[in-house]
Amino acid sequence: MTTATFIDASGQERPDRRGNSKLRNAFDAVYVQIEPFFDPKNTWGGHSLEHLAFRVVRDSHPELTQQEVHQVIVAATRVFHSRNPHFAGQVPSVEDIKAKLLG
């Protein structure tokens, strides 16, 4: 059995730790859908929109379980933060998103 790998930012090959191929396959499409909800420029009555991401993902990907939707949204939050460090302090943290999703 071969282990999946990826090339990191420094150009080195690393083992891929992701184990859920269903989420891996859905992630790029999901991220494009929900990225605008994390942007602090997009608000509704002065409130952020990240809580809408859960509904959008559930509606557009009914094959994902509630747990998988949670996982993909948390991962998308991490990706948004890593791609947009200039928004630090302006967008909810991964911990904030987890707390909202878990109620």
Domain membership of residue 1 (yes or no) is: no
Render pLDDT for 3-56 as a digit per residue (tens, 0 to 9). Answer: 677 777 788 887 776 667 778 788 889 999 999 988 888 888 877 787 888 899
Domain membership of residue 14 (yes or no) is: no
Domain membership of residue 3 (yes or no) is: no
Sign (positive or negative) of CA dihedral 58, 61, 67, 72? negative
Domain membership of residue 51 (yes or no) is: yes
Please tell me the total count of domains within the chain. 1
User: Do 61 and 69 touch, CB atoms closer than 8 A?
Assistant: yes
For 5: left if phi > 0, alpha if psi spans -120 to 50, otherwise beta; the answer is beta
Domain membership of residue 10 (yes or no) is: no
pTM of the model: 0.68
Render pLDDT for 47-87 as a digit per residue (tens, 0 to 9). Answer: 778 788 889 999 999 999 999 998 899 889 888 888 888 87
Domain membership of residue 4 (yes or no) is: no
Buried b (16+ CB within 10 A) or exposed e, 28-58: eebbebbbebbbeeeeeeeebbbeebbebbe
Residues of the domain holding 49: 19-102
**Cα 66 to Cα 80: distance, rounded to the nearest angstrom:** 21
Domain membership of residue 2 (yes or no) is: no
